[in-house]
Amino acid sequence: MSKYEIPKLVHDDLEIFKKNHADFLAGTLDSLTFKTMRVPFGVYEQREPNTYMVRIKLAGGAINPEQLLGLADLAEQYAHKNIHITTRAGAQLHYVKIEDIVVIMEKLHTLGLSGRGGGGNTVRNISSDPLGGTAKDELFDVSPYSLVLTSKMLDQKDSFALPRKFKITFSGSSADRGYATIHDVGFIAKIVEGKRGFSLFVAGGMGAKSRIGTKIADFIPENEIFLYSQAIKQVFDKNGNRKNKHAARLRFLFDELGEAQFLTLLQAELEAVKKEGNWEISIPETPTERKVTLDKDFVIEEKYQTWWNRFVYAQKQEGLYGCKVPMYLGDISYEDARVLANALAPFGEDVLRFSADQNLYLRNLTAGEMVQVHDVIQNISVDSKRPTVIGDMVACTGAATCQLGITRPRGAVEAIQKRLAKVVANFDAIQGFKIHFSGCPNSCGKHQIADLGFFGKVQRNEGYSYPAYNIIAGSRIHEDGSSFAQKCGDVAAFHVPAFVEEVLHTWVLHVKNFNAFADWVDADGRGIIEEITKKYNTVPSFKDDKNPYFDYSCDDIFSLKGKGSGECSAGMYDLIEADKKALKIALEAEVKDFENIRLLSARMLLVTRGEDARDKEGVLKAFKKHFVDTTLLNASFGLPLEGDADERSIELAHEVIKLYESMDNTLKFAKEKELKVVESKTEEAVRFKDYSGVACPMNFVKTKMDLAQMKSGEVLEIILDDGAPIDNVPKSVQGEGHTIASTTKEGNGWRVRIIKK
Amino acid sequence: MRDFSDEELERYSRHIILEDVGIEGQEKILNSKVLIIGAGGLGSPVALYLAAAGVGEIGIVDGDVVDLSNLQRQVIHTTSEVGTAKVISAKRKMEAINPNIKVTVYQTMLDASNILEIVKGYDFIIDGTDNFSAKFLINDACIIANKPYSHGGILRFGGQTMTIKPHESACYACVFDSPPPANAIPTCSSAGILGAVAGMLGTIQATEALKVIVGVGEPLYNRLLSFDAKAMSFRNINFKKNPKCRVCGGEGIKELRDYEAVVCEMKR
């Protein structure tokens, strides 16, 4: 098994997406609505309007040569020439035309790949240890677990409409190369009494309010990974903050609830998932290992030695080797991808991984085969000729394509490379040193888990803005205690290459005395780095030198113009607010368009119920189903939904706006909580009165008399005349806090079922 | 729960429809007992509205007979009733409006000797008197008998009113201590009163009584509502209960005494 399964649900969703896509192209679907549909399919608009990118799930970064060839074809035909390796070990195609999106999606499906959950508030690509199945220190291969969990998660409807994104990962050992300690849900392999399982970390993550995950279980059996993932997801789904996307990730909820309360809720959801059944995953088979004949006499030629020492590692399987192929900025051109895929194809399916550090890892090759692909590697990876520190640099795309980006980290990385290329130093002494860049405080470039991390900011000098970076240093990742890099000052983007060079030189001088860079930072490195930042913090006056006021690889002077709000959680709120705004305008208009007011009122909150009906008929139907039939709104509001809209639409609009105001962060309306209590008591009507022929307001007065003589939760049924009585009485009854459970036409009148408050 | 007749449901329907009154509130009104002291300018609207509202038992106190000069503002009386005891005249109209209520008349002037005996049978007292000695006496009696009451006073174009919950909110004496010297303050009969102003203040008092009975809203506790109908401006003056109040503070008063009559020296 080297592929995840694409369940029917995803195929069905794609059919819906295709229809929406066609509507969007035809101009009958607005761009905001379409956005909320495309983003969960991994389709984002780039910073440049009308250019798009497609993000593709590769569970655990696993990709076989055939799939790589397929991606190469797609890149050539529909996208920018590069396939991009993402920081979740997925793949991205850039500069895609919106017209081509559906074709790309369909072709991906034939490759066994999907963009579903690539973006938006979904279960994102499930990552795992890039060395999974090969590392000497691992307890067992975790990659099959990421595949099987991906298949399961793709098959859950609630995976695609969460309060915020939800990230899961697997690590094969305590070294935590899958970063389980900084994920929403992180599994680290464990064997207890001969049985496989995992320790479980939750609520870690980077970004605003970064947090190291909390270990909530020392051991859960391997067949329970879906059970726990789903239960945690349900806790998140039900309680997460949907109103404020900036405080929505699981770690915010975890801190808000406290560990004890979180665990209580989790326990309930575990029970619920168990009750639902089908929670046990079939234990994935470990891929059959390659049978190779050992060539003990094989000698690595001198000319390969430096490269071999830097990038090749011996696997746990004797005679097999893996190799890291640093890909400059995580990009591989379709031509190179093809060459690589063809070179690897003879060696089997499980020969390649994309990794979250945006590189490639070859695997399961004999020494001879590894040497055989050496030239291919050298051709596609310039960084394979250089010390690892160069190729290990990670950068998000920053302001070049991202609407949130402040700076352009890729340009900074290029500038560093240029500078270091000219420097004579023993950077092999600091093998594995990680430099990470993000263009903004969000952590797409994972700056917090770097040895030396950068995240973009704006600084001003004499009124002019210039790009700059916050500097952080010395992260640790390990099951027994991960910690983020610590703030050490800031430097102008212009000075970043010189700054990096100086830090590296200084570290080279100290490296012998320390086990890890973080140890040096904790000892006295931090102070030293702070001193270095001060040298590179300021820039000359704009009049004297304009260069520092330009960001790297950008011809325009630095500016935040064009920076928008992020797309990743775009959605529901933007839609509701857009409808609300339109509704308010419609309500204030001198001549009221009742039809429009009714449509907007009915549509405004539909997204909160997961409905995406856009045509009038569908909207009114869905509104009735979700808001009137559920008694969230007075049942009599079902009436203005029928036939042509009239002045009652205005009342409906105010009622809907009022309801929206009562909505909490988890998209629950105040009324819903009461209804839950009431539901349990709903019984036979204890009282029945026929008020046909009784005019307003006596029918209401008598109804109140009836209700006054009843107990809370009891049901009163009354018959009301058509016209003013049915228009007014239920509304008034509801206005006093009682619940109108139903209104049904009966003869010439209406039977109204009231639950006393 | 009392069973309302259809006639009652219809008569009180506009109360019952009110969310804050409803069946339960109307039932409280029907079960309540209110004493109106004075069947004059203030007492007239109070008596009419409380009768209409269905206050179950209304007592009305006044020793005077209807005078032609009363009719300009004392709207419960009619021209043909000049010379009739005010309480009798008032009772007729109240029962005409609402035959379901019980009206008890006290054709007497209240003094320290009889006030406690009368007050004790009621839940709420309306001060509709026209002189300071009566107002202070009513305050003292309500504090001793622990009866909530509405103070009211009018002159020319103005009026003032506050509602008192004995021992909890400021009482009349907390605010004014004791009556002003004789002749220091003119009276209606010497200074005049715009008839409708009496209606304004009386209806406020009736509203306060109903609020207290039903238990809704915020009665004029610890605040004096004062209005000037010429400018038609209303203001609230906040007070606190005076812990050293002669009447309701500390030990407070134990016994009643009559205040010197300070009003009218002019012959009516």
Q: Which of A94, A96, A110, A115 is nearest to A17 (CA)?
A: A115
Residues of chain A in contact with residue B17, where contact means CB-CB under 8 angstroms, are: 697, 700-701, 704, 732
pLDDT attached to residue B268: 35
Name residue A92's beta-bridge partners: A55, A84
Residue from B3, B8, B9 to probe the interface with A (highest A Cβ count within 10 Å): B9
User: Quick check: B13 and A736 CB within 8 A?
Assistant: no
Query: pLDDT digits over A470-518, tens only?
Result: 999 999 999 998 999 999 999 999 999 999 999 999 999 899 899 899 9
Query: pLDDT digits over A682-723, tens only?
Result: 557 788 899 998 888 889 989 998 998 888 888 999 999 988
Q: What is the DSSP string of B48-79?
A: HHHHHHT-SEEEEE---B--GGGTTT-TTS-G
Mean pLDDT of chain A: 87
- Which of A323, A396, A440, A696 is labelled catalytic? A696
Higher pLDDT, B96 or A442: B96
Query: pLDDT digits over A157-199, tens only?
Result: 888 888 899 999 999 999 999 999 999 999 999 999 999 999 9
Report, as an integer, the average pLDDT of A235-244: 86
pLDDT attached to residue A746: 81
Rg (CA), chain B: 18
Tell me, yes or no, if A696 is annotated catalytic: yes
User: Quick check: A701 and B19 CB within 8 A?
Assistant: no
What are the start-end ranges of the H helices in A285-360? 302-311, 334-344
Chain A within 8 Å of B9 (Cβ-Cβ)? yes
pLDDT attached to residue B96: 96
Report, as an integer, the average pLDDT of A335-359: 92
Residue from A702, A704, A734, A757 to probe the interface with B (highest B Cβ count within 10 Å): A704
Query: pLDDT digits over A250-280, tens only?
Result: 999 999 999 999 999 999 999 999 999 889 9
User: Quick check: A702 and B9 CB within 8 A?
Assistant: yes
Query: pLDDT digits over A381-436, tens only?
Result: 988 988 888 888 888 878 777 767 788 998 999 899 889 888 877 888 888 899 99
pLDDT attached to residue A198: 96
pLDDT attached to residue A612: 63
Report, as an integer, the average pLDDT of B69-87: 96
Put simply, the chain B residues between 17 and 76 with a CB less than 8 A from any chain A CB are 17, 19, 22-24
pLDDT attached to residue A567: 45
Using a CB–CB cut-off of 8 Å, the residues of A that contact B are 697-698, 700-702, 704-705, 707-709, 732, 735-736
State the nearest Cα–Cα gap between A198 and chain B, in angstroms.
Answer: 59
User: Quick check: B10 and A701 CB within 8 A?
Assistant: yes
Q: Which of A343, A437, A358 is nearest to A391 (CA)?
A: A358
Predicted confidence (pLDDT) at residue B185 exceeds the cutoff of 80: no
Q: Give me the percent of chain A exceeding a pLDDT of 90.
A: 44
Chain A within 8 Å of B232 (Cβ-Cβ)? no
State the nearest Cα–Cα gap between B54 and chain A, in angstroms.
Answer: 16
Distance CA B239, CA A85 (A): 74
Are the C-beta atoms of residues A735 and A757 closer than 8 Å to each other? no
Query: pLDDT digits over A617-668, tens only?
Result: 888 888 888 888 777 887 777 778 888 888 888 888 988 888 888 777 666 7
Nearest 5 degrees, angle CA A383-CA A388-CA A392?
Answer: 80
Are the C-beta atoms of residues A633 and A659 closer than 8 Å to each other? yes
pLDDT attached to residue B116: 95
Neighbours of A80 (CB within 10 A): 19
B265: pLDDT confidence band, cut at 50, 70 and 90?
Answer: very low
Distance CA A507, CA A514 (A): 10
Query: pLDDT digits over B215-259, tens only?
Result: 999 999 999 999 999 999 999 999 999 998 989 988 888 888 887
Q: Say how far residue B65 (Cα) sits from the centre of its chain.
A: 19
Identity of the residue in B4, B14, B19 whose CB atom sits nearest the CB atom of A705? B4
According to DSSP, residue A401 is labeled T
Are the C-beta atoms of residues B93 and B36 closer than 8 Å to each other? no
Model confidence pTM above 0.80: no
User: Quick check: A697 and B13 CB within 8 A?
Assistant: yes
Distance CA B144, CA B138 (A): 10
Distance CA B196, CA A473 (A): 83
Are the C-beta atoms of residues A145 and A4 closer than 8 Å to each other? no
Predicted confidence (pLDDT) at residue B85 exceeds the cutoff of 50: yes
State the nearest Cα–Cα gap between B53 and chain A, in angstroms.
Answer: 16
Residues of chain A in contact with residue B14, where contact means CB-CB under 8 angstroms, are: 697
Predicted confidence (pLDDT) at residue A290 exceeds the cutoff of 80: no
User: Quick check: B17 and A732 CB within 8 A?
Assistant: yes
Report, as an integer, the average pLDDT of A209-229: 93
Chain A within 8 Å of B16 (Cβ-Cβ)? yes
Higher pLDDT, A665 or A336: A336
State the nearest Cα–Cα gap between B9 and chain A, in angstroms.
Answer: 7
A516 by DSSP, 3-state: which?
coil
Query: pLDDT digits over A6-26, tens only?
Result: 999 889 989 988 998 998 898
Residues of chain A in contact with residue B13, where contact means CB-CB under 8 angstroms, are: 697-698, 701
Predicted confidence (pLDDT) at residue A86 exceeds the cutoff of 60: yes
Report the residue of chain A nearest B10, measured CA to CA: A698
User: Quick check: B23 and A704 CB within 8 A?
Assistant: yes
A546: pLDDT confidence band, cut at 50, 70 and 90?
Answer: confident
Predicted confidence (pLDDT) at residue A455 exceeds the cutoff of 60: yes
Query: pLDDT digits over A32-47, tens only?
Result: 888 888 888 888 887 6
Predicted confidence (pLDDT) at residue B262 exceeds the cutoff of 60: no
pLDDT attached to residue A569: 39
Are the C-beta atoms of residues A393 and A330 closer than 8 Å to each other? no
Report the residue of chain A nearest B26, measured CA to CA: A705
Strand duo B102-106 + B57-61: pairing: parallel
State the nearest Cα–Cα gap between B13 and chain A, in angstroms.
Answer: 6
Report, as an integer, the average pLDDT of A111-130: 90
Report, as an integer, the average pLDDT of A92-102: 91
Distance CA B91, CA B48 (A): 9
pLDDT attached to residue A121: 87
Chain A within 8 Å of B214 (Cβ-Cβ)? no
Query: pLDDT digits over A565-587, tens only?
Result: 444 434 456 677 778 888 988 89
Neighbours of A524 (CB within 10 A): 10
Higher pLDDT, A49 or A360: A360
Going from the N-terminus, what domains does chain A have, and what CATH number goes with each? 1-120+307-385 (3.90.480.20), 143-286 (3.30.413.10), 391-465+492-549 (3.30.413.10), 592-674 (no CATH), 686-755 (3.30.110.40)
Report the residue of chain A nearest B12, measured CA to CA: A701
Residues listed for chain A = 757
pLDDT attached to residue A568: 41
According to DSSP, residue A182 is labeled G
Distance CA A65, CA B83 (A): 116
State the nearest Cα–Cα gap between B50 and chain A, in angstroms.
Answer: 21
Report the residue of chain A nearest B6, measured CA to CA: A702
